[in-house]
Amino acid sequence: MRRLRNVKIVATLGPASDSYEMIEALHKAGADVFRLNMSHGSHEEIREKHRIIREVETNLNSTIGILADLQGPKLRVGVFSGDSEQLVVGAHFRLDLDPSEGDASRVCLPHPEIFAALKPGASLLVNDGKIRLKVLECGDDFANCEVVIGGVISNRKGVNVPDVVLPLAALSDKDRADLEFVCELGVDWLALSFVQRPEDVTEARVLAKGRAALLSKIEKPSAVERFDDILEVSDGIMVARGDLGVELPVQNVPPIQKRLVRKCRSAAKPVIVATQMLESMIESPMPTRAEVSDVATAIYEGADAVMLSAESAAGDFPIEAVTTMDNVAQEVEVDPTYTEIIESSRKADRMTVADGIVAAAREIAETTDIKAICCFTQSGTTALLTARERPRVPVIALTPLVNTARRLALSWGTNCVITGDVDRFKKAVVSAVRAAREEGFAVEKDHVVVTAGVPFNVPGSTNILRVAPCDERLLFAADPD
């Protein structure tokens, strides 16, 4: 299903969007990838959503990516005798391992790993940062704190520890079970929560065994500090602005977002901007102007995808939310300023033959009357490198592997076509020309650029480029063999 935009849309599925009719409608409205939130729903419920997505994909003959988002370790306080307490600024409050019910002076924090990492002066944030505690004294089983920002604290509210790297693995026992389940089910991307270090990603890669691509969620200050190392071992990145905005001053998040998006693009790895993009559309059919500007900013920055969470999972207007994102994207991408920003942020560093080939393809397409860049790809690398160039013409990614096509559903500008195996470049050119015409990107009188790697079926071997006429009579006349 051809889109009239290059940025991709990720829509989270939930109670408001778990039927065949709604998932089909969301895809038609613009959702390219569906997110399955492993924090909610049983394995059977996840299996059913997966089945419906694949059914929609088959019936519409349109490639759809599936992203499974692992929960990660959840740090929460215990319960209170009265269900909640009011914490006053300046008061002292104790966190400990005592499982008894809490009161206005203390509560259980059943995570000894936190106490092991804390130091005096560290901050603890409760309930998405609404309450801030400063550690005065701590030991192996307690932390005596001062209330810096007060408020109501209630049962099992989440705790963030922004100042230290916690000795916790990114994968809990639940995550390991979920990872194996969704990999066997056949998802295309795994989103890893609570990533603090590159080793967290490496551990997940060993467990995934190549069955899904790995996307690291950047939601902790430690992940920002070690971002280059995390990016190197990840297949993609999600800028998860929710927890990031809790653990860091909110004014720090926009420049971090811009910096991470640019680094991902330079590395030719997809990046999603997520959280609270159209939050008001959970209850309203219209977004705020600020939300529209936020979505537009992510697109102007060059993000591969923008994501809806509760808006599509539990909101009253999921289709309207996807449609709004689609409309914003289309409007931004025809703005001449968008082209100026994208092209001015293009890095000129070239390290490999493949880099040079895709850069040349983009240059040829933009300086002559070329209708599309057609790239043959096994692993998806050639398509990702081409997308990094952000060409002004459509990118057609041709691959014999449906899994590669589904993973590329997350990448900027890629229009995926499943093709048969080819063993000669001439066959590749003919397949590319036919795909460009059949998919409506070109007509008989047009030309396309075709890139591929010879020998075929060797990932990362892009080394050949040709400008081909879409009139097959001219094509065969030029190359009768």
Give the integer Cα–Cα distance in Å for 478 and 481: 9
Q: Is 445 a catalytic residue?
A: no
The catalytic position among 275, 323, 377, 462 is: 275
The catalytic position among 49, 106, 217, 466 is: 217
Q: Is 275 a catalytic residue?
A: yes
The catalytic position among 5, 8, 35, 265 is: 35
SS3 428: helix
Residue by residue, DSSP assigns 40-101 as: SS-HHHHHHHHHHHHHHHHHHT---EEEEE------B---BTTSEEEEPTT-EEEEES--SP
Q: Is 74 a catalytic residue?
A: no
Residue by residue, DSSP assigns 289-332 as: HHHHHHHHHHHHHT-SEEEESHHHHT-S-HHHHHHHHHHHHHHH
**Could you give the angle at the alpha carbon of 2 between the alpha carbons of 471 and 270, nearest 5°?**
110
Q: Is 339 a catalytic residue?
A: no
149 DSSP assignment: E
Give the chain's length: 481
Give the integer Cα–Cα distance in Å for 474 and 365: 19
The catalytic position among 28, 47, 74, 76 is: 76
Give the integer Cα–Cα distance in Å for 97 and 118: 14
Token pair for residue 281? 């559309």
**Could you give the angle at the alpha carbon of 384 between the alpha carbons of 383 and 390, nearest 5°?**
95
**Which residues are the active-site residues?**
35, 76, 217, 275
